[in-house]
Amino acid sequence: IDWTPFFQTWELKGRYPRILDDEAQGPAARQLFDDAQAMLAKIIAEKWFAPKGVIGFWPANAVGDDIRLFTDDARSQELATFFTLRQQLTKRDGKANVALSDFVAPLDS
């Protein structure tokens, strides 16, 4: 688990593990971290999930903010589409809000 984004989701600013010792946010961060650890232990002990992994490689192209997968290199038949979201926060200095599709070649390329 990447704990830094976890804390950011709860609007606690700082990087893990330093946030746990932060003078202002440390107590809340430690409580949140302890609660998360307890929940993870319960998930494992009670076998809430039966995780399975699948890996594969497919031809893919960006279509707007989405990523389209194809069944073959000719891209004659679509397999699936991943609908990605563009970042929503306003950024400084004219920096762009990116989506995962920005890192995949466009369909017309």
Mean pLDDT per block of 10 residues along the chain (109 residues) reads 94 95 96 97 95 91 97 96 91 89 95
Q: Is this structure's pTM higher than 0.85?
A: no
Q: What is the pLDDT of residue 93?
A: 87
Sequence ranges of the domains in the chain: 3-45, 60-103
Domain 3-45 -> CATH class = mainly alpha
**How far, in Å, CA of 80 to CA of 59, rounded?**
11
Helices (H) and strands (E) in the chain, counts: 2, 3
Q: What is the pLDDT of residue 74?
A: 95
